[in-house]
Structure 1
């Protein structure tokens, strides 16, 4: 009946039920804001190879590339070069304060450019701005937010996240399977990404992308 209020409605209802059943513990939630702590950069070849390169690959393959794809699937035609440059530059400046690996955030992008964000596609940027403001607030009170989630029943958190992504998932699947030439690649990518597989320390989204590209090349060599 009210798609925009579905997720807040689930949250309020779930909180009410959990509180009535005594499943919420609010005693250990810190209320103090987090303060940035400078960490002096130190070069380590082992860390560069073991952490830096895999993190770069994962960020590019599971966030930046899908983020651009989500934007284009929604009808936008962004120039990816300045987007990657801005996020990379911000990561470089904020990494000493813990703000590393800033990226396109594929899921956040999908939520912010959906029809629920605004009926007019040209006005949906306001959802991204609002998300940025709320993320900043949540970052300042990161310990409090973490404490709140720890105080809630895990089933409520999982259900809330799942319901919040239903529209995005449905839209993404519909777009992926719309072209018959890409269906095989899309289903391989989807299944492997959601399988939870981890190989060589790299999670499923990366391998799903690789398998999808190989499948696309085999089934539609001209694409």
Structure 2
């Protein structure tokens, strides 16, 4: 196994972890605070997720000798940001995270549940995801309106670097964000001491609370969006690169590591989709049998990043929230455009997808349940009515 290690896989693994962490940690922080996490709890959640997905990538890749990349659920974090706080606060959200992790384990072990998730029409799943993402995608425009001197450098860095290499667009926006904080924002007295104390890794145990509102508003939509937007595409990316794992054990393992991170504020870990292509592709190593080391090295790097989650969260907290939302929104534009395109691609499901998108994007909750769930229900009813009408025409 050690003979399979290479400098090329080391570099690609480190690059994969950097891109995965830098491009979406802002989304995770915004999502966790959106459902009621304090700054300390959000830092704990970010740390737990980073360590959990790093350890999961190491375990799976070494066990299967396949380049299986693991990530946190970025669409799931965006869902949290749009859901808002539920009855019971962040403790109720943690209870929902635990239930979501259990459902992912069951989906891996019990094939009917996985088939049920797969049977959700792709148009509706993509429409729900697009509706969840669109609110955050408005944030870059709002940041410019808030303060052009702060917002424009972030957006311009993303646009200019992205026109050359899309892979580095979000890290460039993140660098611009760091420079804006460093040179454009008055740092309160005592901040250096606060940053120094944040260097010490600290996990915050959150006692879970279980209630119906959190189950329906967070757990079920989080499970659906994680499976439909991350786990299933993650398997597809591996197959495109001529790797053919058994999906069930992979799903169950990610669900297990989700359960381990949930008590500390982590919402979900899953198979990676975008970064999976980096580890599974030829750039990882010419010999496909040695590419699994890229995923192992990415996992090690994720764990290292996780240990510095406290200082990352403290530093980000110095900026106006709209700026970190802008970075998160820029990171999600690609996901929004692809999900919207897939949602409205087919004429026979377009109207139902539109209903799902509009109800979800409205952000309106009914009976304490978020719009994402109702959007999926409304779209499903519309699709069923349309199919019934066609059969009886």
Question: Could you say which TM-score interval applies, normalised by the shorter chain?
Answer: 0.5 to 0.7
Deviations 1:108-161 (A, max 9, x none): x454368xx589599799997777555534433332222122123323211111
The counterpart of 2:226, out of the listed 37, 48, 63, is: 63
Deviations 1:24-73 (A, max 9, x none): 55533211112586x9x9xx9xx444478445424323433443565588
Over 3 Å counting, the alpha-carbon distance change for 1:7 and 1:52 in structure 2 is closer
Gaps of 5+ in 1: none
In the alignment, structure 1 residue 85 sits paired with structure 2 residue 252: yes
Determine the structure 2 residue equivalent to 1:6.
169
Determine the structure 1 residue equivalent to 2:366.
199
Q: From the two aligned structures, give the one with the greater helix fraction.
A: 2
Determine the structure 2 residue equivalent to 1:174.
341
Determine the structure 1 residue equivalent to 2:200.
32
CA–CA separation in structure 2 for the residues paired with 1:187 and 1:171 = 15
Over 3 Å counting, the alpha-carbon distance change for 1:18 and 1:208 in structure 2 is same
- The answer (yes or no) to whether the contact 2:235–2:247 under 8 Å persists in 1 is no
Over 3 Å counting, the alpha-carbon distance change for 1:139 and 1:206 in structure 2 is farther
* TM-score of the pair, normalised by structure 1: 0.68
In the alignment, structure 1 residue 157 sits paired with structure 2 residue 320: no
* TM-score of the pair, normalised by structure 2: 0.43
Over 3 Å counting, the alpha-carbon distance change for 1:158 and 1:142 in structure 2 is same
The 3-state SS of whatever aligns with 1:199 is: coil
Q: Over the residues paired in the alignment, what is the CA RMSD in angstroms?
A: 4.1
- The answer (yes or no) to whether the contact 2:238–2:280 under 8 Å persists in 1 is no
The 3-state SS of whatever aligns with 1:198 is: coil
The 3-state SS of whatever aligns with 2:363 is: coil
Q: Give matches, 1:75-154, under 5 Å.
A: 81-92=248-259, 94=260, 98=264, 102-104=268-270, 109=272, 111-112=274-275, 133=300, 135-154=302-321
Aligned residues: 210
CA–CA separation in structure 2 for the residues paired with 1:192 and 1:126 = 43
In the alignment, structure 1 residue 16 sits paired with structure 2 residue 172: no
- The answer (yes or no) to whether the contact 1:112–1:125 under 8 Å persists in 2 is no
- The answer (yes or no) to whether the contact 2:262–2:268 under 8 Å persists in 1 is no
Gaps of 5+ in 2: 1-162, 285-290
CA–CA separation in structure 2 for the residues paired with 1:203 and 1:125 = 39
Over 3 Å counting, the alpha-carbon distance change for 1:148 and 1:17 in structure 2 is closer
